[in-house]
Structure 1
Amino acid sequence: MFVKSLEKFLFKQRAIVIGVFTAITLVLGYQASNIHLDASFNKNIPLNHEYMKTYVKHSDDFGGANSIYISVCDKNGDIFNPEFFESLKSVHDQLFFIPGVNRTLVSSLYSPSTRFIEVVEDGFAGGPVIPADFNADKAGLQKVKQNIEKAGLIGRMVADDYSCAMVSSQLLETNPETGEKLDSIALAQQLETEVREKFENDKISIHIIGFAKMIGDVASGAKDVVLFFAVAIVITALMVWIFIRSTVLTILPIACSIMAVIWQLGMLNSLGFGLDPMSILVPFLVFAIGVSHGVQMINSIGKRVHEGFSAKQACSASFCTLLIPGGIALMSDTVGFLTLLTIDIGIIKELAITASLGVAVIIFTNLFLMPVLASYIDFDKRFKALPADSHDHLWEKMSRVTKPKNTAIILVITALLYGFGWMKSQEMKIGDMKAGAPSLHEDSRYNQDTFLITDRYAISTDILKVIVEIHDDNLDDDIAYDCTSHATMDLIDQFQWRLSNVQGVQSAISLSTVAKVVNTGYNEGNLKWRSLPRNSSSLVQSTARIETSTGLLNRNCSVMPIILFLEDHKAETIERVISSIKAAKAEMETEQVKFLLASGAAGVMAATNEAVEAAQVPMLWYVYGAVIILCLISFRSVKATIAVVLPLFVVSTLAQALMTYLEIGLTVSTMPVIALGVGIGVDYGIYILSTMIGELRKGNTLTHSYFLALKERGSAVLFTGLTLAIGVSTWAFSALKFQVDMGVLLTFMFLVNMLGAVIILPALASVLWRKEK
């Protein structure tokens, strides 16, 4: 009754409806033109995770994880020449003045805090590694080299082979000049133009890594997404024309789907959101889903025209026929995407909003507006003359899957595939599977810079910090007591030693490490004395000169980090190290000394991996729960719901197995793909089954009902699955590795979900509706 009333209103006021949609599109189109790429470090981390609470609490004392590293290298392999030190100083100064860089933490050989200490006859001597009167002549360079060795900077601030030197700093969350959130993409561009392009020459090479630089490179590669979008539109348009053989009807679903994307981007900008480079593929998915529903509408209209309906009658009848199944399918998609809001990571929440908005507007652009626009089309004689039964022989063969023998074979194969997929999916790793930035290709400039820095320095940029907090009610906040306790320092030293022997830990450092070195110096440099003093006065002597700027202690020495340098940030490496830390923590932690996870870049990754792992199963429950509830409301049948949902579940499991095979870890950027795949796949099943059930209720046999469903919907389902798979398969040529991976996964989901709807679904129906055979 409601559908009929809505149909009468829409088709009686067609001009008003078109005018309203046009006005909305113009307004939202203007808003969409102002949307910008928006990337933030904090959006990518679970701020409410236990580790991140520790990270935020101590970030002022020990810095955050949003760092930038610039390795300045001499192409001849020897930094001790005037040209190199001039370039190094220039890079240091340039980085210092870039807005958003934490200037107090800019570190290099030219930093005043970069000092050396040595044992001399009269006690200790020391000073800046590069003295104030430094002159880059032979004597001056030799002096700096000696100071570097005395300060123990080889492998940390200077490459093992003296070919490079490091300039590093941490980034602020806000730009101090504007007071606004730091634009990581703009900062990455500044690093390119004001550092790399300015100082790289035939003698000096510049290598830059860090979250901001990685996001900048991803954003640069993401610009090609527009090209792939255009290619996908052309491919889709060509395929639609081959399917329909009508230029006007080809343009219609394409135009309405593009309109849905414009509405989506316009509303995002109106709500104050930007478009994150990691979710820039979502508009294409909205376009793809829109085309899928648009082709169903055009196909239905064509069928009515073949039956002798006028254009307006055909469009009106198609609207009434498809509003409920199409609306339920799109509502399932929307609610399924909204369930991603339960995952407490900013970028996934934004993706949920982006995807759900886009899918929701398809209900209006493709189910409401499209039939109204199509009602004005004068269908030519050639279109009307196309035989309505041209594919009946194919549909007749496909309908045989409902025969008992064929059903048994299909369900056995499906069960075997599911069993295989489930076993492989258990091997899927949580986190990155490869070194470097997984979003970029291995041969990208960013990853090559990462590999060079990892290879030439003894420490890595994958840092994990265990924060040691001392809790003692007798301590005075203004006096440093904890460094004077041998028991406390020895416990930290044992904890560090245990972790430094874990596979995947390259090296480790803490206040106890430096204290032992200083104690050696107080004893004529004899290595036999490289141990922690057992009395408080000696401990004070060993730690008093260690400044808070080293990042090894806070103001009153009540908090001290143990810094672990990991070989890489692969999922298995982080998981192994975190497990070892938890085991050591359980054995060694006391009421006074607490070992807290975690800070540093690898600590953030560990928290993110745990958040993703914790959210993985609930997310699937929420997505499938939403689909099940809407299917029950739509079909009012448990059997129908099982027939739609079960193939989706099999395909989701096989997609996880494919991720394992392709070495794609479950991360912030890949986890939503499973939910998106369910949303895309449910459409096929709902369209096929809604027609089947309608025919069953008329008294047809199940086999004939499926034949009629294929006749009505089969062409559109097969066409959209194939067309969209071809469209995303072009992503194999993308400059972004994660887009290549998404292209493979989506191609798989488009095709296999389509096959599940036309093969597994009717086979299940044959079992569920046995009496109707």
Structure 2
Amino acid sequence: MSETPRKPAEAHGGLLKRLERRLESALFRHRGATVAVFALLTLWLGWAALGLRPDASFEKMIPVHHPAIANYLTHEDNLRGLSNVVRVVVENRKGDIFDPAFQEVLRKVNDEVFYIPGVDRAGMRSLWTPNVMWGEVTAEGFEAGPVIPDGYDGSPRAIDQLRSNVFRSGEVGTLVANDLRSALVLVPLMERDPDTGQRLDYGRFATDLEEKIRARYENEGVSIRIVGFAKVIGELIDGALPILGYFLLTLVLTAALLLWYSRCLRSTLTTLACCLIAVVWQLGIVRLMGYGLDPYSILVPFLTFAIGISHAVQNINTTANAVLDGADKVEAAKRSFRTLFVAGTVALLCDAVGFATLLVIRIGVIQELAISASIGVAVIIFSKMFLLPVLMSWTGVSPAAVSHARRRRAHLPWLWQQVARCAQPRPAVVVTLAAAALLALGHWGARDLQIGDLDPGAPELRTDSRYNRDAAYLVEHYATSTDVFVVMAETPPQGCRDYQVLAGMDLLAAELERIPGVQRTVSMSDFAYRVLAANNEGNLKWHAISRNKYALGGAFQKTPKEYIGNGCAMTPFVVYLNDHKAATLSALMGTVRDFAARHDSDKVRFTLVGGNAGIEAATNEVIRDADHTMLMLVYAIVALLLLIEFRSLRVTLCIVLPLYITSVLGEAIMAWMGLGVKVATLPVIALGVGIGVDYGIYIYNRLQSYLDRGHPLAEAYLLTVSTTGRAVAFTGLTLAVGVLTWIGSAIKFQADMGLLLTFMFLWNMVGALVLLPALARLLLPATKPAAIAPIPQHAEH
């Protein structure tokens, strides 16, 4: 038996129709009260929204449930300077670091950074901190001292002593550049103030670095370079400040397009007001829930506004056609509400589902984005479904809008006639085959899509940004990069001095240093080699790990404390990388896990604990695991909502298949653009599906209404194209224009999201207009073929 799609009202036993009638009666009987309630809520939530502040956190960027991150948080006190750190590089443009004037600048920078709130002062390291030591073995025994000599006064003798100390310290390549022209201050940060418990204000911290360090000490002779997570967040916040300008640009462009489409100033202004109210509500509710404006979710208000506009276009279209058919303002508004309530509500619920599925990714910043965006869609349901029809019952549409609707009804341009032909048998087959070819092309192009970053530095920023230039300088001039991967050797108390433990570290170093992208490794075993040889007059025969526990005890005493955990029960094994590209991190994670499986014992266990690169590797694994889960979940829930509304698997396929093709093509575009799937780009996929389904719902809802009146499919789709189809096309263009303005952002990931969403919105629109009717022709029960007839001038719309 063939499956026959049913109207939503029939499918739900009249429940939605009864709800629709009751809401319609209440809204239009109490129009003044409705507007008053909306006005009061807007004032309250607008006042709350004024308290929004930029909000960023290191903890929100990491998956705290991942085993490696859990280990990192457990051992955080023993990993100072290896994860959330800032490096301040001071470069002498006119010479090397052994210059009294340069050393004075370096001292002042060190002291200035020391007092910036949020700095973990005990973990700071530079030539001017007392925890940076030199050491050597002499005829009298082992000698050591601070790199800056006691009584340093900048004299030639003091400078000569400093030079000797620097070379004996082993810090060349670490705290001192390989070319000796710059030195850095290593600044570990505290996520929370130990006294107040307040989270570190990254925006304020980044501003302090700029104002107190770079602006004060950079001049013709000295360059200041600053890298680290906190500085990236500062750059993102600074780049987000002009976002208001982009929002105003979007507002102006959208208003112009809406006025051109409707030919009605009053309905354009009414629609803009309702969508702005939705944005105010969204921001206010987010603030009341205790969230701020994270750099990764600061574009959500754009989406809220664009989605509101796209749905409101259907109201304007339906109201104008109702007035053309003779209805007054109130009756036209009621018809608009009646026609769009079910389809619009289901479409917006699908939008919300697209956002809400991001909650399965247990990374704070993505979950906050999901919550913020879901709130935005929820308030659109109220402003668009309830407030807009009530306001339109007073404003109505202008005579120019009615005349424009009459001209559109009387004449269908050639392009739209060709679009309508997609519902005929032969064009339907051609369109479906073309879609299948695009799907195959998309799968082929998406095969190179990777998880994680594909570029060095901070891919969220432009390649030529100040930050990425600073990061490139460090990679070029220092032996230890800013990308640090940490493995922890866990032992019983005092067990880290055991020969088996150090030998295991030695073997691990040999395996990791064969991986492309690994610069070097540093662990307690390296210091054991160095100290044991030094204690024996530098004889290379002693450059080995001794089995003698007393000899190892001597090496242990000379090992820097940051490489020995509390009680000698946890020893960091540090891996410095050229970059944090996805392939490098994946290879490291796999190698460490394989090594641990082969070498873990009662004496030592090798576990992943982080470092900034290790944290990113763990984040990549979480995203890899959640990527397909999220996509399947969003499609499953959207399909379920469509089945509930239309009670037809065939109709559901007609609406969902174009979305799937767009998703696959979107992944191919990401691979072609060199974008990996990561925190900044993953939400795009869910957004594209959730918002794109709106087109198909509106198209099929109107198509079904004509089919129910007895029109053959081809004629029904011609009528659909002449009304809802045009509105859907305008909707797609409006959404695309709304996000296309993002490409001007100084923040690269925002520009990339703008391009990807523009592509997905346009292709979803094309799929709904072209592929949906073709699939309907092939999948829905056969009807008697009918020639495309001209649109009846007084056909019901």
TM-based fold match above 0.5: yes
- Residues 99, 177 of structure 1: 8 Å contact kept: no
**By how many angstroms is 1:390 displaced?**
4.5
Aligned match of 2:60: 43
**By how many angstroms is 1:388 displaced?**
4.2
Between the aligned partners of 1:567 and 1:382, the Cα distance in structure 2 is 64
**By how many angstroms is 1:176 displaced?**
4.3
Q: Is 2:110 aligned against 1:110?
A: no
Aligned positions of 1:137-176 closer than 5 A: 137-176=155-194
**By how many angstroms is 1:418 displaced?**
0.7
Aligned match of 2:409: 389
Q: Is 2:427 aligned against 1:406?
A: yes
Name structure 1 gaps, 5 residues minimum: 472-476
Q: Is 2:22 aligned against 1:2?
A: no
Between the aligned partners of 2:564 and 2:655, the Cα distance in structure 1 is 59
Q: Say which SS state the counterpart of residue 706 (structure 1) adopts.
A: helix
Q: Is 2:444 aligned against 1:423?
A: yes
Between the aligned partners of 1:699 and 1:322, the Cα distance in structure 2 is 21
Between the aligned partners of 2:196 and 2:317, the Cα distance in structure 1 is 54
Q: Is 2:86 aligned against 1:68?
A: yes
Aligned match of 1:184: 202
Between the aligned partners of 2:141 and 2:262, the Cα distance in structure 1 is 90
Aligned positions of 1:517-666 closer than 5 A: 517-548=530-561, 551-666=562-677
**By how many angstroms is 1:592 displaced?**
2.6
Q: Is 2:358 aligned against 1:337?
A: no
Instruction: Give the counterpart letter for 1:196 in structure 2.
Output: R
Q: Is 2:313 aligned against 1:292?
A: no
**By how many angstroms is 1:65 displaced?**
1.4
Instruction: Give the counterpart letter for 2:25 in structure 1.
Output: K
Aligned match of 2:496: 482
Question: For 2:249, which of 231, 247, 250 is the aligned residue?
Answer: 231
- Residues 55, 293 of structure 2: 8 Å contact kept: yes
Query: Residues 678 and 461 from structure 1, CA distance in 2 versus in 1: closer, same or farther, beyond 3 angstroms?
Result: same
Question: For 2:337, which of 302, 319, 327 is the aligned residue?
Answer: 319
Question: For 2:110, which of 92, 98, 102 is the aligned residue?
Answer: 92
Instruction: Give the counterpart letter for 2:499 in structure 1.
Output: H
Aligned match of 2:748: 737
Between the aligned partners of 1:324 and 1:48, the Cα distance in structure 2 is 40
Instruction: Give the counterpart letter for 2:46 in structure 1.
Output: G
Aligned match of 1:54: 71
Q: Say which SS state the counterpart of residue 750 (structure 1) adopts.
A: helix
Deviations 1:267-309 (A, max 9, x none): 0001111110111111101111100001111111111111111
Aligned match of 1:704: 715
**By how many angstroms is 1:547 displaced?**
3.9
Q: Is 2:35 aligned against 1:14?
A: no
Higher mean Cα deviation, 703-712 or 510-519? 703-712
Aligned match of 1:281: 299
Aligned match of 1:497: 510
Aligned match of 1:196: 214
Between the aligned partners of 1:590 and 1:481, the Cα distance in structure 2 is 12
Between the aligned partners of 2:500 and 2:417, the Cα distance in structure 1 is 82
**By how many angstroms is 1:383 displaced?**
2.7
Aligned positions of 1:660-679 closer than 5 A: 660-679=671-690
Q: Say which SS state the counterpart of residue 585 (structure 1) adopts.
A: helix
Aligned match of 1:135: 153
**By how many angstroms is 1:668 displaced?**
0.8
Instruction: Give the counterpart letter for 2:669 in structure 1.
Output: L
Instruction: Give the counterpart letter for 2:489 in structure 1.
Output: V
Question: For 1:440, which of 461, 464, 486 is the aligned residue?
Answer: 461
Between the aligned partners of 1:269 and 1:368, the Cα distance in structure 2 is 24
Between the aligned partners of 1:7 and 1:36, the Cα distance in structure 2 is 39
- Residues 302, 738 of structure 2: 8 Å contact kept: no
Q: Is 2:272 aligned against 1:259?
A: no
**By how many angstroms is 1:357 displaced?**
0.3
Q: Say which SS state the counterpart of residue 130 (structure 2) adopts.
A: coil
Q: Say which SS state the counterpart of residue 78 (structure 1) adopts.
A: coil
Aligned match of 2:792: none
**By how many angstroms is 1:136 displaced?**
1.2
Between the aligned partners of 1:11 and 1:86, the Cα distance in structure 2 is 75
**By how many angstroms is 1:391 displaced?**
4.3
Runs of at least 4 residues of structure 1 off by over 4 A?
none
Deviations 1:14-71 (A, max 9, x none): 1111111111111111111111111000000000001101111111112261111101
Query: Residues 79 and 649 from structure 1, CA distance in 2 versus in 1: closer, same or farther, beyond 3 angstroms?
Result: same
Between the aligned partners of 1:546 and 1:705, the Cα distance in structure 2 is 81
Instruction: Give the counterpart letter for 2:603 in structure 1.
Output: Q
Between the aligned partners of 1:42 and 1:379, the Cα distance in structure 2 is 51
**By how many angstroms is 1:425 displaced?**
1.8
Aligned match of 1:474: none
Instruction: Give the counterpart letter for 1:654 in structure 2.
Output: L
Between the aligned partners of 2:30 and 2:566, the Cα distance in structure 1 is 73
**By how many angstroms is 1:438 displaced?**
1.0
Instruction: Give the counterpart letter for 1:96 in structure 2.
Output: F
Query: Residues 183 and 545 from structure 1, CA distance in 2 versus in 1: closer, same or farther, beyond 3 angstroms?
Result: same
- Residues 702, 769 of structure 1: 8 Å contact kept: no
Between the aligned partners of 1:382 and 1:142, the Cα distance in structure 2 is 86
Name structure 2 gaps, 5 residues minimum: 1-17, 786-797
Instruction: Give the counterpart letter for 1:537 in structure 2.
Output: Y
- Residues 70, 208 of structure 1: 8 Å contact kept: yes
Query: Residues 586 and 378 from structure 1, CA distance in 2 versus in 1: closer, same or farther, beyond 3 angstroms?
Result: closer
Aligned match of 2:5: none
Question: For 1:511, which of 494, 500, 524 is the aligned residue?
Answer: 524
- Residues 267, 396 of structure 2: 8 Å contact kept: no
Q: Is 2:475 aligned against 1:454?
A: yes
Between the aligned partners of 2:611 and 2:743, the Cα distance in structure 1 is 34
Instruction: Give the counterpart letter for 1:3 in structure 2.
Output: E
- Residues 157, 166 of structure 1: 8 Å contact kept: yes
Between the aligned partners of 1:468 and 1:589, the Cα distance in structure 2 is 9
Query: Residues 295 and 75 from structure 1, CA distance in 2 versus in 1: closer, same or farther, beyond 3 angstroms?
Result: same
Among all aligned residue pairs of Structure 1 and Structure 2, give the percentage whose two residues are the same amino acid.
41
Between the aligned partners of 2:108 and 2:736, the Cα distance in structure 1 is 50
Instruction: Give the counterpart letter for 1:157 in structure 2.
Output: L
**By how many angstroms is 1:730 displaced?**
2.6
Higher mean Cα deviation, 576-585 or 412-421? 576-585
- Residues 431, 665 of structure 1: 8 Å contact kept: yes
- Residues 504, 577 of structure 1: 8 Å contact kept: no
- Residues 45, 285 of structure 2: 8 Å contact kept: yes
Q: Is 2:265 aligned against 1:240?
A: no
Aligned positions of 1:751-766 closer than 5 A: 751-766=762-777
Higher mean Cα deviation, 716-725 or 313-322? 716-725
Between the aligned partners of 1:36 and 1:69, the Cα distance in structure 2 is 26
Please give the TM-score of this superposition, normalised by the length of structure 2: 0.94
Aligned positions of 1:461-476 closer than 5 A: 461-471=482-492
Q: Say which SS state the counterpart of residue 73 (structure 1) adopts.
A: strand
Q: Say which SS state the counterpart of residue 135 (structure 2) adopts.
A: strand
Question: For 1:26, which of 31, 43, 63 is the aligned residue?
Answer: 43
Between the aligned partners of 1:510 and 1:381, the Cα distance in structure 2 is 80
Aligned match of 1:693: 704
- Residues 702, 766 of structure 1: 8 Å contact kept: yes
Higher mean Cα deviation, 168-177 or 513-522? 168-177
**By how many angstroms is 1:179 displaced?**
3.1
Q: Say which SS state the counterpart of residue 392 (structure 1) adopts.
A: coil
